[in-house]
Structure formats: C-alpha cells, structure tokens
Amino acid sequence: MMIGAMSKATGCNIETIRYYERVGILPSPPRTSGGHRDYDNQHLKRLNFVRRSRELGFSLDEIRQMLRLVEGGDVTCTQVHAMASEHLADVQSKIADLTRMERTLQDTTAKCAGGTTPDCPIIDVLFDA
C-alpha cells in the first residue's frame, strides 16, 4: 500500500510516518519502480503499535525497547512490564497533580462573582501563591 493509504488506515500523518522511518522506528519499505514507498501488513501492524504506544504516552526510546522484544532482541517481558509500570506511576502522578489543580481552580473561581470592580479574588490568589 502507498503512504496515503497507510496514513488513512492508521490515522497517522504522512510526515509522521516518514519521520518514524528516518529515526528507525518503522523500517523503510521497498520502493515501486516509480519510487513510491510500498508498505505491507507488517508495516501497518508496526505503525499501529507505535501510534497506540504514543497515544499512551510512551517515548520513542521506550517504544524501541518494546519493539526489540517483538523482534527477538534482548529485552524481556519483565523489562517491558517494569517500563509500563513506571509509566503508569508517572501517569497516576500527573492525574493527582491535575486533580489538585482542578480543586484549586474550582475553589478560586467560586470566590469570584465577576463584576466590574478592579478587585478580583482570582488575581489575588495567584499573587499570594
């Protein structure tokens, strides 16, 4: 399949596909006689894996390590589990931070009735923090 079809099938931007090829995340496909990239189902599966991993917030280096497991490299399932567990802890920490931010913003905006006076509780809270 051509790069446009690959893009549509995976929801990945064409430039992103080319970038993944340049950095070695996606192997370069063979070229047609006209010089067009000719992707197969293995490229499609791998690109879907990369896209989904990126959606979950894994870095390209982490994705490379997981792909080494798939390719029979020296990375074990235990290492992938540890990587995913560490990533999960980071995500949970970010959620906790966002929850605190949400609570602070709710409390702060609840103190402000709007209006036209120059005194604003939101501004006051931000200056006092």
Residue ranges of domains in the chain, CATH in brackets: 1-75 (1.10.1660.10), 76-113+122-129 (no CATH)
- Residue listed under structure tokens 């906790």: 96
* Residue 28 confidence class, pLDDT cut points 50, 70, 90: very high
pLDDT, tens only, 99-116:
999 998 898 888 877 777
Q: Has residue 98 got a pLDDT over 90?
A: yes
Q: What pTM value is reported for the model? A: 0.75
Residue 64: exposed, middle, or buried by beta-carbon count in 10 A (0-12, 13-18, 19+)?
Answer: middle
Residue 39: exposed, middle, or buried by beta-carbon count in 10 A (0-12, 13-18, 19+)?
Answer: buried
Q: Has residue 18 got a pLDDT over 90?
A: yes
* Residue 74 confidence class, pLDDT cut points 50, 70, 90: confident
In terms of Cα–Cα distance, which of 34, 41, 56 is closest to 10?
Answer: 41
H helix intervals, 23-118: 41-55, 60-70, 77-110
pLDDT at position 93 is 97
pLDDT at position 128 is 78
